[in-house]
Amino acid sequence: MSIRMALVGNPNCGKTTMFNAMTGANQYVGNWPGVTVEKKEGKLKGHPDVVVTDLPGIYSLSPYTLEEVVSRNYLLNERPDVIINLVDATNIERNLYLTTQVLELGIPVVVAMNMMDIIKKRGDQINSIKLSEKLGCPVIEVSALRGSGLKELYNKAIEVASLKEPFRPVHSFQKRVEQALEVIENNLSGHVDASQLRWYAIKLFEKDEKVLDSLASKMKLPAEIQEAVTACEEELDDDGESIITNERYQYITSIIGSVVKKARTGLTPSDRIDQIVTNRILALPIFVVVMALVYAISMGSWTVSIGTKATDWANDGLFGDGWFVPFTADIDAWDEDSGAYEEATTVIDGFLAAAEKAGVDTSEFTAAREEGTLDDAMFQAFAAQTADLTTDVYFYDDEAGVTTTETVDLSHFEEALTVEEPDPTEYGTWVPGIPVLVENLLNSIGCNEVVSGLVLDGIVGGVGAVLGFVPQMLVLFFLLALLEDCGYMARIAFIMDRIFRRFGLSGKSFIPMLVATGCGVPGIMASRTIEQDRDRKMTIMTTAFIPCGAKMPIIALFAGALFGGSSWVATSAYFIGVAAVIISGVMLKKFKAFAGEPAPFVMELPAYHVPTRGNVLRATWERGWSFIKRAGTVILLSSIILWFLQGFGFTADGFGMVADNNDSLLASIGKTVAFIFAPLGFGTWQATVATVTGLIAKEEVVSTFGVTFPGNLSLEMAEHFTPTAAYAFMIFNLLCAPCFAAMGAIKREMNNPKWTLAAIGYMCGFAYVVSLIVYQLVGLALGEVAFGAGTIAAILALAAIIYLLVRKGYRPSEQEQLSARRSVSRA
């Protein structure tokens, strides 16, 4: 016999943790409303015939939010065999409000008093036996986090469900209200299921619009019902919904007084911490410092930057030439000799490139050098053509994190040719990286040039460029998971509500942005928790401004290549996203489509607790695995296509492989549209192609550079970008339209083609304007940019933004404001 259980509870009561414990699933656990915006199902462990449904967290069964609609419709229409109502024992009064409503549905209920471990730790007492008598249903003490009491809960729920007996609540309201409800029940009898009669009567008393519409399609509601409600409202001098709300809380208060005993009064440890971290003055600086530390540890160049060290190991070792086994290697000698050879190679490559530009044919010289047949006569012939040639060569210092420039001539070139490549086996045990192993394998089986290029430069080079940043991503996700699980991130939503409200946004808008730090898709989907349509649309249009996991490799790449691995680059990227949200909120609220007061923000702040290993590792892995999967699917395919486009083109001999990727199909495409980005400082075809492919997946930006810059990536980027241009490029790719998957989410949530195009267009336009201002004005101040048409355009753009920020906006009429309020939760 199949049994269906439904998990119902307030947001942040531990419901998803309970669902994971019951089913073995790995659903995301968060400390804010809206983590579960759709119902999820799983089989109860050890009971394959029991299906558990995890419903969205709700505060009531009034249909004001999407979560409440989803939960209520399921309970009313699907009628599960038993409801497990999770109650946060540390906030029992607020949680029992939903319990009183669930008990009226006529479905058997088992109340799970969660977080009882915290109650016992505080020294408080809850008499679950007496509470069970008061509620008229079983009450089981559990701790979903610790796993205690769960077996007893499962068994009791299965036992209650197996009885198949309709449930009738034991509590009643005051006599006058019960008289009105009795009149309504008598008139509804025979038109609704007998087990749901009480619930429908109460909803009609509250004038629930959805219930009124539903019943109106089945029957003509007698005038006696309205007369009974109106008479009761006049006698009690209040509206029906407020009367029922007050009755519920009076009933709950009477229960609390007899079953709960607190060991002490006053501030809890969480309250004392909140006096500091949510302080009006200190809250924001503390948040800035916390996030700066998170990015410094995961992406900075500090000694404590675990993420950067792990990523360097992955890029230089796993996806590079390889590394020494530490306990057998002469590291210092190897570093000195390999560094000298790398500098010599840089000089040789730079001088040969300059000779090519000067019209010297270097093909014979290069071929002889690679084959080891270069003789003195050949060198003298080459030297005669380049005797007066000089060029600037760029050197990147990994440890110092700086790029230096040196002018070299023929004498430097000749000296560099004498530096021999060190043999790793003479210095210790050398473990080759994946590219070396793959290259050796391809050579051993005699692969031709095309296949070798596809595998090495396309697949390994493109995908490896992205996967090399996985360690940094995992460290970042781990730290964010710690902050979420301990309860601090929920405080950030509360803090940002105070700030956002001044700019026309609700703290609920910040929740999708917190979720979006992992991936923009669930972040955009989390906007469903916002009741007002205008606020939801504005949140969707701005959520993608927050750097997601896919954008982190872009930040890490530019921070390492042009800013010495500075942690301020990553930190500033996060707060640029927040600033973009605020500026957009102010500007958009001035337009009629978005005008009006922001929706109220109500949420429970969880007690601080030590993060649990399971939750933290699960959240870290889910975000990290999503990143890795994209590298193995979308990015793999895109890297192959990019390799083909940058490796082939039309030459004098027809279509085929090109020696210089500047002559490739990809270069031709990029050069055609590169002029669009020239005012932003990155009008090269490589940067243009990377920006466009970033719309497929943001990781593609790094992958594209990995393919189009096949040599030393940091060195190549230093040659193509000035620091200001690099920062402008980074800003544009952080703020412009997100990846295709996120665009699809925008389309689903907007459910309107025009609004979808408007959202994508706004993000791209806003990103372009901000990048233009940064490059032109900052570059002018630093001497990187000369005053010209681009600077004038940047000044005009800045003036336009200022005007939109300070101008008077549209003011909705009283009728429009009243209509908007009716659509908002009255919680």
Q: Any residues with CB less than 8 A from the CB of 164 and at least 6 apart, and which?
A: 81
The sign of the CA dihedral 561, 578, 760, 587 is negative
Residue 681's nearest CA partner among 736, 730, 725 is 725
DSSP secondary-structure letter at 824? S
596 CB contacts (<8 Å, ≥6 apart)? 532, 534, 812, 816, 817, 820
Q: How far apart are CA 55 and CA 73, in angstroms?
A: 11
Q: What is the pLDDT of residues 722-746, one digit of tens each?
A: 888 888 988 898 888 887 777 877 8
Residues in Cβ contact with 417 at an 8 Å cutoff, skipping those fewer than 6 apart = 344, 348, 369, 374, 379
pLDDT given for residue 234 in this prediction: 85
Among 133-137, 409-413, 649-653, 679-683, the least confident range: 649-653
Given a cut of 60, is residue 624 above it in pLDDT? yes
Lowest mean pLDDT among 171-185, 199-213, 617-631, 794-808: 617-631
From the CB of residue 777, how many other CB atoms can be counted at a distance below 10 Å?
18
Checking if the pLDDT of 398 tops 70, the result is no
**8 Å CB contact between 204 and 223:** no
- pLDDT range class, residue 37, cuts 50, 70, 90: low
The reported pLDDT for the residue numbered 821 is: 47
Whether residue 197 has pLDDT greater than 50: yes
CA distance linking residue 204 with residue 226, whole number of Å: 9
* Share above pLDDT 70 across residues of the chain, in percent, rounded to a whole number: 83
Residue 766: pLDDT band (50, 70, 90) is very high
SS3 at position 790? helix
> Taking phi first (over 0 means left), then psi (-120 to 50 degrees means alpha), and beta for anything else, what does residue 12 get?
left
Task: List domains and CATH numbers for the chain.
Answer: 3-163 (3.40.50.300), 175-261 (1.10.287.1770), 282-319+472-624+722-827 (no CATH), 322-432 (no CATH)
Which of 5-19, 425-439, 722-736 has maximum average pLDDT?
A: 722-736
Lowest mean pLDDT among 236-240, 246-250, 296-300, 416-420: 296-300
Nearest residue to 426 via CA among 319, 324, 321, 343: 324
Q: Tell me the mean pLDDT in the region 470-480.
A: 79
Start-to-end CA span in the chain (Å): 39
How many CA atoms, within 13 angstroms, populate the side-chain half-sphere of residue 442?
18
Assign 507 a pLDDT band (cuts: 50, 70, 90).
low
Residue 318 token pair: 């796993």
List b or e across 113-141, with b for residues whose CB sees 16 or more CB atoms inside 10 angstroms: bbbbbbbeeeebebebeebbebbebbbbb
Q: Check residue 681 and give left, alpha or beta (phi > 0: left; psi -120 to 50: alpha).
A: left
The highest-confidence range among 32-46, 352-366, 453-467, by mean pLDDT, is 352-366
Which whole number is the average pLDDT over 694-717? 73
Give the model's pLDDT for residue 812.
58
Separation CA 540–CA 748 (nearest Å): 11
pTM: 0.62
Q: What is the mean pLDDT of residues 127-140?
A: 89
pLDDT for 648: 77
Cα 124 from Cα 472, distance rounded (Å): 43
Query: In this structure, are residues 607 and 118 in contact, taking their beta carbons and an 8 Å threshold?
Result: yes
How do residues 551-590 score in pLDDT, each as one tens digit? Answer: 877 877 777 777 766 667 777 887 888 888 888 888 888 7
| pLDDT tens digit sequence for 218-269 | 777 778 888 888 888 888 888 888 888 888 888 888 888 888 887 766 677 7
| Whether pLDDT at 303 is above 50 | no
pLDDT at site 308: 65
What is the tens place of the pLDDT at every residue in 143-165? 887 888 888 988 898 988 888 87
How large is the average pLDDT for residues 798-813? 79
- How far, in whole angstroms, is CA 336 from its chain's centroid? 42
- Could you report the per-residue pLDDT of 64-93, keeping only the tens digit for each? 666 777 788 888 888 889 999 998 888 888
- DSSP string covering 213-255: HHHHTT-PPPHHHHHHHHHHHHHHTS-HHHHHHHHHHHHHHHH
Which secondary structure element, helix H or strand E, spans residue 432, and what is its range? Answer: strand 430-432
User: Average pLDDT for residues 118-126, to the nearest whole number?
Assistant: 82
Looking at residue 712, its pLDDT comes to 65
pLDDT band at residue 430 under the 50/70/90 scheme: confident
Mean of the per-residue pLDDT values for the chain? Answer: 79
Tokens 């609704």 appear where?
A: 192
Bridge pairing between strands 648-651 and 430-432: unpaired
Average pLDDT over residues 408-415: 89
Better-scored residue on pLDDT, 158 or 292: 158
Would you state the pLDDT for residue 480? 79
Burial class of residue 217, CB neighbours in 10 A (0-12, 13-18, 19+): exposed
- Determine the residue type at 62: S
Amino acid, res. 56: P
Q: DSSP states of 68-137 as a string?
A: HHHHHHIIIII--SEEEEEEEGGGHHHHHHHHHHHGGGSS-EEEEEE-HHHHHHHT-EE-HHHHHHHHTS
Split at pLDDT 50, 70, 90, the class of 826 is very low
Side-chain-facing half-sphere of 519: CA atoms under 13 Å = 23
The whole-angstrom separation of Cα 135 and Cα 456 is 68
pLDDT at 30: 47
The winner for highest mean pLDDT among 157-161, 538-542, 658-662 is 157-161
Instruction: Supply 162's token pair.
Output: 């197996």
Q: Residue 767 pLDDT > 60, yes or no? A: yes
User: What is the phi/psi pair of residue 546, to 5°?
Assistant: -75, 130
Average pLDDT over residues 464-468: 69
